[in-house]
Structure 1
Amino acid sequence: MPRPELLARLAVQTAERAQARLQRHLRTIARADGPWVESQGRRLLAFCTNDYLGLAQHPQLIAALKEAADADGVGSGSAHLICGHRREHAALEEALAEWTGRERALLFSTGYMANLGTMQALLQRGDLCVQDKLNHACLLDGAQLSGADLKRYRHADVDAAERQLRGNPDACALLATDGVFSMDGDIAPLRELAALCRRERATLMVDDAHGLGVLGDNGAGSVAHAGLNAGEVPVLMATLGKALGCSGAFVAGSAGLIDGLTQFARTYIYTTAMPPALAAAARRAVALARQESGRREKLAGLIQRFRRGATELGLPLMPSHTAIQPLLLGDAGRALEASKALEAKGLLVVAIRPPTVPQGQARLRITLTAAHEETHVDRLLEALAALRLADAPV
């Protein structure tokens, strides 16, 4: 029997996904202007960006990036441990550690690389990694790459997490969870998970990609929002490309954790450091996020306005009080048609379909930002009302 050919198999799988109306497509954005984007010659009001504080085009971030680029050029030219670690990287790490209440922080090129590297450094074969079933893919991939025994618990179910931990009481254990879940928008029960980890002598890791900048005092994130400290959440990861409007990620924790990651996190050791100019822009974003509470207050008001209006319309709103406001439509085709209908009205709202979400849980993932205005929210609600989504089978 002839050996199967890999590209042919991939083509079959791609065709099957297209036939099921689950194929993903790239969209090129020609220009962005606050919450507005230009795509295929049309100006669209976007409700799908993760730029929660509206900082991505802030003039102070642009000025910081330009100034650093003028001084140091663009690329860092090397990995951090060779000669790529510049003063802007060091200053950003110090700012992130102070903001999150940790001893140290370590920069990574992306959140995916941060989670892969952290788990690969912490976990070994025979260890136990317990995770929420709705965790981001990079947390799941990181556990699998490490060779640890991965056990998943029902979403936000602390009792189920406890059963998984107690199933292997002799193993070194890491419990990892999103702080804010990227597709549902709800917040993990962090206080209860932290108490569980104390009882079971497990290490708690929180991926706060969608909480940093938005939740907690001074925007320090979902961990701060839950009133937890560095001892209760010893491993904290967050990204710079969402509320901070830049790119990259970091892990924050004790000096011992960061020293260990520097030695053993392969995705840190063997990759080129982010451009120093980008680190300069991110450091300015940290300062703005901490100082300008009005952005969070405006965002909170827009979230309340949207939820109130969606409830009055009977829309299939999921129970989220963050900037992520999904409308659960169930059928992937229905979600796709709703997205196309909104685009025809000048609104960009992306349909999220399997395998990103479970079968039967396709949705419109609506995200609000501080760059939006009340009139934008009202326009979205008016367009959604016309789609009669209240009748959607879920």
Structure 2
Amino acid sequence: MLEHAPGWDAALAEASGRRAATQGARQRRPLSPQPGMRVTDGRRSWVNFSGNDYLGLAAEPALAEALADAAKRHGVGSGASALVTGYSPAHQRLEDGLADYLEREAVLLCSSGYLANLAVSTSLATRGDCIVQDRLCHASLIDAARLSGARLRRYPHADEAGMERQLAAAGTGRTMLVTDGVFSMDGDVAPLAPMAGLAARHGALLVVDDAHGIGVHGPGGRGSAFQAGLGQDEVPVLVGTLGKAFGSCGAFVAGSRAL
């Protein structure tokens, strides 16, 4: 009960009723990970086809032991933002290691993939600029584009002719061409090589959110851009996550030191 705001009780009850009537109400079920890509509720065990822990690393005993050891040495929280006192040597080593792994000049860690995408679009684009996106881009990319203040133009899914039209119509200002590397709902891969050519021809900055590709696709699991034979010059901005194939949490932006 919200004793000091009774009107909200009625509003919440009404909203819950609407969701239940349209089968929109969802419930969380406590599940524990198990080795071998399985989860359990304590009574039964299932093979997990619904999660993002593609390599089964989240429940890997050796990684759990390493995490426990790191927590003893470094604590369980940073205690502050990275710009104050919360940036540790461990963070720096992780950034440097990811940069080496992805063959990028630099990496910047973020708390989540949503925040990484938000940081990219709101830092690089503003009013007068244009962001061109695939119609099936992740919701975080759409939110980030809208919050940037730039014009948002979208093309039919993976449609190269549609990309060309939207880039040609972008107008004055700077242009970003943004896509998922692997699309999370359907699992298909963006046509990154043709997109790199289009971006170069139109002077656009190609941004690839490869949250579902890094760790799985390409040589050494380096992602969809590597699989397409593209490096930092062709894909200047690469967003990845640590919460999927790497089995942990957090995210990062990879690119040049200037970026």
Q: What TM-score, normalized to structure 1? A: 0.62
Is the alpha carbon distance of 1:10 and 1:129 closer, same or farther for their aligned partners in structure 2, counting shifts above 3 Å? farther
Is the alpha carbon distance of 1:231 and 1:11 closer, same or farther for their aligned partners in structure 2, counting shifts above 3 Å? farther
Q: Give the Cα–Cα distance (whole angstroms) in 2 for the partners of residues 73 and 125 of structure 1.
A: 42
Alignment identity in percent? 50
Match of 1:158 in 2: 160
Alignment gaps of 5+ in structure 1: 258-394
1:224 aligns to what SS in structure 2?
Answer: helix
Q: Please state how far the C-alpha of 1:35 moved relative to its aligned partner.
A: 2.1
Q: Give the Cα–Cα distance (whole angstroms) in 2 for the partners of residues 121 and 247 of structure 1.
A: 23
Q: Please state how far the C-alpha of 1:14 moved relative to its aligned partner.
A: 4.1
Is the alpha carbon distance of 1:36 and 1:66 closer, same or farther for their aligned partners in structure 2, counting shifts above 3 Å? same
Q: Give the Cα–Cα distance (whole angstroms) in 1 for the partners of residues 10 and 167 of structure 2.
A: 42
Q: Give the Cα–Cα distance (whole angstroms) in 1 for the partners of residues 50 and 128 of structure 2.
A: 40
Match of 1:144 in 2: 146
1:83 aligns to what SS in structure 2?
Answer: coil
Q: Give the Cα–Cα distance (whole angstroms) in 1 for the partners of residues 17 and 76 of structure 2.
A: 40
Is the alpha carbon distance of 1:8 and 1:174 closer, same or farther for their aligned partners in structure 2, counting shifts above 3 Å? farther
Q: Give the Cα–Cα distance (whole angstroms) in 1 for the partners of residues 201 and 51 of structure 2.
A: 39
Q: What TM-score, normalized to structure 2? A: 0.92
* Alpha-carbon contact 2:177-2:199 (below 8 Å) kept: yes
Q: Looking at both structures, which has the greater relative contact order when contacts are Cα pairs under 8 Å and sequence separation is at least 6?
A: 1
Paired residues in the alignment total: 253
Query: Equivalent of 1:69, from 57, 68, 71?
Result: 71
2:58 aligns to what SS in structure 1?
Answer: coil
Match of 2:129 in 1: 127
Q: Give the Cα–Cα distance (whole angstroms) in 2 for the partners of residues 77 and 63 of structure 1.
A: 23
2:83 aligns to what SS in structure 1?
Answer: helix
Q: Please state how far the C-alpha of 1:40 moved relative to its aligned partner.
A: 6.5
Q: Please state how far the C-alpha of 1:173 moved relative to its aligned partner.
A: 0.6
How large is the RMSD of aligned CA atoms in angstroms?
1.6
* Alpha-carbon contact 1:31-1:39 (below 8 Å) kept: no
Alignment gaps of 5+ in structure 2: 1-6
Q: Which has the higher helix share?
A: 1
* Alpha-carbon contact 2:35-2:56 (below 8 Å) kept: no
Q: Does 1:225 align with 2:235?
A: no
Is the alpha carbon distance of 1:41 and 1:213 closer, same or farther for their aligned partners in structure 2, counting shifts above 3 Å? same
Q: Does 1:28 align with 2:58?
A: no
Q: Give the Cα–Cα distance (whole angstroms) in 2 for the partners of residues 39 and 61 of structure 1.
A: 22
Q: Does 1:55 align with 2:41?
A: no
Q: Give the Cα–Cα distance (whole angstroms) in 2 for the partners of residues 31 and 173 of structure 1.
A: 42
